[in-house]
A = this chain, B = another copy of it.
Amino acid sequence: MQRPRTDLEENREKLIKCAEAIIREHGAIDFTMADLAAEAGMSQTNVFRFFENKDALAEAMAGRWFAELIEIVEDLVEADMPARQKLFEFFARRLAIKRARFKENPELFRSYMELGEQHFEVVRGYVDLNDHFMAIILAEAMEEGYFEGLELDEIVSLVNAMVQPFCNPMLIKDMMPLANETRLQQVIDTILAGLKARPLDPPQKKAVLHLAK
């Protein structure tokens, strides 16, 4: 891939900063490329040289948001450590970054979440990539003897279900007091010690189906 010119990079960076200022102030929903041009003091035609539409802008912003998080995970997957520690670090390192970002600027954090909801097809790719790396770590844990009798896909879903307060940025505001590293370690250890295949009790399922009507 061709290396982008510095001028292009600089202008894109400037426009992203302007976009951040707008969404922080007014939210991400009604924000338009015309607002962006006004905020940046550029003509709309000029803005379109750097981002052809709001989707392209959102993609660039998501790229910045996830770059650091993905890098951490890539390094971690390569690292030589026991699966228990790796799984802990997988969540703890990103939790620390997200928590710091939230504390630095709660409004901007919230606006990024809103932007992500509006452009979920962009976010989806990063979520899938993340699940892919988590699956590698969980497969290492399987080799170490954890998760007896379960399939990898199922393990990924169940671990995702049990660690939401430590990884879902939508929960960060409400869950920050709960989601500390000590609890994360306890959750990881609970998962490693307790997650395995078990027969289900049919009577309990029946009771739920009855109530769901």
Contact = CB atoms under 8 A, between A and B. Distances in A.
Interface stretch (A36-44, A52-60, A132-140, A189-197): A189-197
Contact of A158 (B187, B201, B204): B187
Given A171-B170, A194-B195, A183 B204 contact: no
A183 B153 CA distance: 13
Interface-centre pick from A89, A161, A195 (highest chain B CB count, 10 A)? A161
A164 interface: yes
Given A160-B178, A162-B162, A178-B161, A204 B185 contact: yes
B96 A208 contact: yes
A89 B204 contact: yes
Contacts of A207: 89, 92-93
Given A97-B211, A99-B212, A193-B193, A200 B182 contact: yes
A183 B160 CA distance: 11
Contacts of A166: 161
Contacts of A174: 170
Contact of A208 (B92, B164, B165): B92
Interface string A100-144: 100000000000000000000000000000000000000000000
Given A165-B164, A204-B89, A178 B193 contact: no
21 contacts: A85-B204, A88-B204, A93-B211, A158-B186, A161-B165, A161-B175, A161-B179, A162-B163, A162-B187, A164-B164, A164-B165, A170-B170, A170-B171, A170-B174, A182-B205, A185-B204, A185-B205, A186-B198, A189-B198, A190-B194, A192-B194
The 10 closest A-B pairs by CB, nearest first: A194-B194, A193-B194, A96-B212, A190-B194, A164-B164, A162-B162, A190-B195, A92-B208, A96-B211, A161-B165
